[in-house]
Structure 1
Amino acid sequence: MNQDWITTARTLSQALPYLQRYDGAIVVIKLGGNAMGSDEAMDSFARDVVLMQQVGVNPVIVHGGGPMINDMLSKLGVQSEFLNGKRITDETTVQVVEMVLSGKVNKRIVQAINGQGGRAVGLSGKDTNLMICEPTDPELGFVGTPVNLNPAVLHQMHEAEIIPVVAPIGTGQNGETFNVNGDTAAGAVASALKADRLLLLTDVAGVKDDSGQVVTELTAEHIRTLTKDGIIAGGMIPKTETALDALSAGVRAVVILDGRAPNACLLELFTDHGAGSIIRA
């Protein structure tokens, strides 16, 4: 008998406890723009998400799209600056951000999932008032912090066996449009759903220590120490802040992992090996 088939069968058998463990669980996956990569990588991610749903997991995808936003702003000749890992967003920029995220990026993910036999529907935080925001910081302009989540539509989609794909665009109390950091949005959604897992897919292998090695298991105290020492910096700060906020809101665990690695989500959920850095309360 072909050795590859034997290996595949053994892998499926070993995954049984994990399949049982996550049956009915809500898993929120934040897909970063850098992790989307090629069409092949997108198709692989979509196939993994469809498989997760097929074995009883309820996935919710929240995506970013920083590189795509940068490309469009560059084409339009709009300057863009960052403060503490977050994009300073004026009125012109927020219109471009919404166009790119709710349009091009969101529909690409939806099409990829549907192309693998799933049933995905795209929406933004503005739909059904899913994500009500307040301004994060006057210096950041139209950057919002979610203050009220209305996840009923996500539960309804899961009941209908539909995979939600959420663009991180929020609405204000007065109808403003807010650009929400993708990690922050994913954490808010996971918190509102009391998700079993929040997976933050990025373009690094995980949280690294002062020697550059990935730390596979972290506590809140460890994260605060690494941040204070300047080892956690830049774009990793919103991710670890999101993790701590989500854990305090009832999410069971958060994992920061390399979304460019093949089958990263499946490795994390359904094998002993896991992937990236797991953060528990």
Structure 2
Amino acid sequence: MTPSENASKVHVIAEALPYIRRYHGKTIVIKYGGNAMIDEDLQKAFAADVTLLKLVGINPVVVHGGGPQINRTLERVGLKSRFVEGMRYTDSDTMDIVEMVLGGLVNQQIVQLINSHGARAVGMTGKDGGLIRARQMKAGAAGEVDIGLVGKVESVDADLLVTLDGADFIPVIAPIGADDKGRTLNINADLVASRIAVALAADSLFLLTNTAGVLDKKNKLVTELNAAAARKMLRDGVIAGGMKPKVDCALEAVKGGVRSCRIINGTARHSLLLECFTDVGAGTRILP
């Protein structure tokens, strides 16, 4: 390695120090999904990033999705995926598969990967310890479209997560909850991450996506937005499609007291560390 390459590495470490100091002892919530979950190299990079965050004194809480894995399993058992207004229609048979894949297969894969890098991860669903109380929801402007066993978060009891964080564990949460009738409900992972971030009074919420972040009218990355500017971009249709619900979740989080929400590109290796510990960052930061 040349002296200039060594100097470059030292500069990166020095740049990270004030950010490590700022985040030390803070809780961050990370929504992990998209291509980052199905690419082996990205999976390993994510696990390494989360482990490093814990080792430098930050308390990460991971909430994960698993849409591609659910689709593959449904196909394998002969069930067709059906979507209504962008949400998976979830009948009882589909819910069994969702719970098996998210709460079992995917959750334990993430836990194993993080543990293999030297951290102590614990897998759970929103049903464990009464973490998430949910209620069944419907789609459509007037809530008239039945989408089956799909839920929205009614409340979060974060006591278990606080205990795990204090004992040096990393919670890894599948977005499944139960209603007051004991029915298991499938919940959007972004919504779960946002509500958990608020319940924990987290410093930051990170939403990993398959894009660079929020783009302006000229398709250029917007690195920082306050809530008012983000709402205007939503009204003007600049923020649309799959980015709209993510920005909605970000706005709910910062409204609820989360210091910032970062929408970052999960398809770039170590984007989580770049956003946390460098001046350049790796996506869009949304502030109150």
TM-score, length-normalised on structure 2?
A: 0.93
Q: 1:228 corresponds to which residue?
A: 235
Count, aligned residues: 281
Matched, 1:97 2:104: no
**1:255-266 counterparts in 2 under 5 A?**
255-266=262-273
Name which of 191, 206, 213 aligns with 1:206: 213
Q: Pick closer, same or farther for the CA change 1:246–1:202 going to 2, 3 Å.
A: same
Matched, 1:180 2:196: no
Aligned residue type for 2:48: R
RMSD of aligned residue pairs (Cα, Å): 1.5
Matched, 1:26 2:27: yes
Larger mean CA deviation between 126-135 and 205-214 belongs to 205-214
Aligned residue type for 1:151: A
Name which of 194, 219, 223 aligns with 2:226: 219
Q: Does the Cα contact within 8 Å between 1:197 and 1:254 map onto a contact in 2?
A: yes
Q: Does the Cα contact within 8 Å between 2:34 and 2:208 map onto a contact in 1?
A: no
Larger mean CA deviation between 54-63 and 137-146 belongs to 137-146
The 1-side partners of 2:83 and 2:237 are apart by 18
Aligned residue type for 2:268: A
Q: 2:5 corresponds to which residue?
A: 4
**Displacement, 1:49?**
0.6
**Displacement, 1:213?**
1.8
Q: 2:142 corresponds to which residue?
A: none
The 1-side partners of 2:66 and 2:237 are apart by 26
**Displacement, 1:202?**
1.1
Aligned residue type for 2:183: E
**1:20-169 counterparts in 2 under 5 A?**
20-137=21-138, 139-169=146-176
The 2-side partners of 1:229 and 1:105 are apart by 37
- Alignment partner of 2:257: what SS? coil
- For structure 2, the residue ranges without an aligned partner over 5 or more in a row are 139-144
Q: Does the Cα contact within 8 Å between 1:46 and 1:113 map onto a contact in 2?
A: yes
Aligned residue type for 1:25: K
- For structure 1, the residue ranges without an aligned partner over 5 or more in a row are none
Aligned residue type for 2:220: Q
**Displacement, 1:71?**
1.1
**Displacement, 1:127?**
0.3
**Displacement, 1:249?**
0.8
The alignment-based identity, stated in percent, is 46
Larger mean CA deviation between 245-254 and 83-92 belongs to 83-92
- Alignment partner of 2:146: what SS? helix
Aligned residue type for 1:107: Q
Deviations 1:41-65 (A, max 9, x none): 1111111111101111000000001
**Displacement, 1:210?**
2.4
Aligned residue type for 1:63: H
**1:188-199 counterparts in 2 under 5 A?**
188-199=195-206
Deviations 1:184-236 (A, max 9, x none): 11101101001100000011111122222221112323333333333333322
Aligned residue type for 2:49: D
**Displacement, 1:247?**
0.9
The 1-side partners of 2:88 and 2:224 are apart by 29
The 2-side partners of 1:67 and 1:209 are apart by 28
